[in-house]
Amino acid sequence: MKINIIGGGPAGMYFAILMKKADPAHEITVYERNGPDDTFGWGVVFSGKTLANLRAADEESHAEITRAFAAWDNVDVVHGLEKISIHGNSFSGIARLQLLKILQRRCEQLGVRLLFRTEVPDLDSLRINCELLVAADGVNSTARKQYSKHFLPTLDLRPNRYIWYGTNRLFHGLTLTFRENEAGVFAAHSYKFNQTTSTFIIECDQETWKTAGFATMGDDETRAYLEKVFAPDLDGQPLLSNNSKWINFLLVKNEHWFFENVVMIGDALHTAHFSIGSGTKLALEDAIALFDCLRKTGTVAGALRQFESTRKPVIEEYQAAAFESMRWFENARDYMPLSPIELAYSLMSRSGRIGDDDLRRRDPEFIARYERR
């Protein structure tokens, strides 16, 4: 089969790997606008369950990914002078660039054609010269725009602002830190993803952002301001920028997932708020799901229909949980009067996916302390 893929992110490359591994006769080309070493951001997070899915799908890349991992089992909530640790939450972090390098090497090993620095401005010509066109072209997908009348997307730009930094201060665990100043409330989502670096994402509401005056601040001034806000947490380490900019989270959904022989996967198709840390997981699992549908049905038309009907309910459930989590952070200032233990409990149960019984199983000490409060 001839397959064209737009986007050499996790979704596009992983799908290429699975297809080429299953049948080396497939002719697969990945078109990627960036070079092999360009990337945005710092580290990404996976749960233990995602790793099991990756192992079942491709042992070779799973082995490399887990070798490069920083793993932990605690969520830490920092509020005022107190840090509350909640154990029993198995997660691992990896640098996004390192993950992409592992997938690039695996593609090359299997014979997938990777065309870097190749922008696809128009999909029609690519679509007609292949049997399957996979649009894995990320949150600002060209495919979604070009075929919007078929896909019927809804795009919801959320009010909070966030900025994605790194730091050499190591956070051993998924750490959620809340700091207040005269402008308002700031939340940091941080976690170590290798031996020297942590991701440090800072989020605040619109009012805080305006009052702080970020609209007229340059990059260095913004960083200096935020280093001051999080001075108690950074241990004197600076925030590291990777052309970091303030952005608003874009919530993406699509009524239809495919059109003729074009299908979307990953962030092009759906997004889930980064506070439940599952964008890359969903992208990779989309690739596995689409691959499975092709294997089972044996036809492109049948596979795309099955992909939409079986995968959509799974994604909708995730997006519903991520929505609750996102709303919690949008309303973070309302939770600031809570005591640290109450705040930690509220955070752990925010998505509606983790109840008291789960918490009791994961960390009986924590739930006992909450009940004694």
Residues making contact with ligand FAD (CB under 6 A): 6-12, 31-34, 44-45, 119-120, 136-138, 142, 162, 164, 201, 266-267, 274, 277-281, 283
Beta carbon nearer to ligand FAD, 188 or 348: 188
Considering the complex, what minimum distance in angstroms separates the CB of residue 268 from ligand FAD? 6
Considering the complex, what minimum distance in angstroms separates the CB of residue 319 from ligand FAD? 13
Beta carbon nearer to ligand FAD, 17 or 45: 45
Considering the complex, what minimum distance in angstroms separates the CB of residue 244 from ligand FAD? 10
Considering the complex, what minimum distance in angstroms separates the CB of residue 263 from ligand FAD? 13
Considering the complex, what minimum distance in angstroms separates the CB of residue 337 from ligand FAD? 27
Beta carbon nearer to ligand FAD, 267 or 363: 267
For residues 279 and 271, is the Cβ–Cβ distance under 8 A? yes
Beta carbon nearer to ligand FAD, 9 or 370: 9
Beta carbon nearer to ligand FAD, 174 or 348: 174
Considering the complex, what minimum distance in angstroms separates the CB of residue 298 from ligand FAD? 26
Beta carbon nearer to ligand FAD, 7 or 184: 7
Considering the complex, what minimum distance in angstroms separates the CB of residue 264 from ligand FAD? 9
CA atoms within 13 A on the CB side of 331: 11
Considering the complex, what minimum distance in angstroms separates the CB of residue 147 from ligand FAD? 13
Beta carbon nearer to ligand FAD, 109 or 140: 140
For residues 354 and 372, is the Cβ–Cβ distance under 8 A? no
Beta carbon nearer to ligand FAD, 184 or 279: 279
User: What is the Cα–Cα distance from 172 to 70, expressed in whole angstroms?
Assistant: 9
For residues 26 and 1, is the Cβ–Cβ distance under 8 A? yes
Beta carbon nearer to ligand FAD, 110 or 283: 283
Of 58, 171, 152, the C-alpha closest to 105 is: 58
Residues 6+ positions from 7 with CB-CB distance below 8 Å: 30, 31, 32, 135, 136, 137, 138, 266, 268
Considering the complex, what minimum distance in angstroms separates the CB of residue 80 from ligand FAD? 25
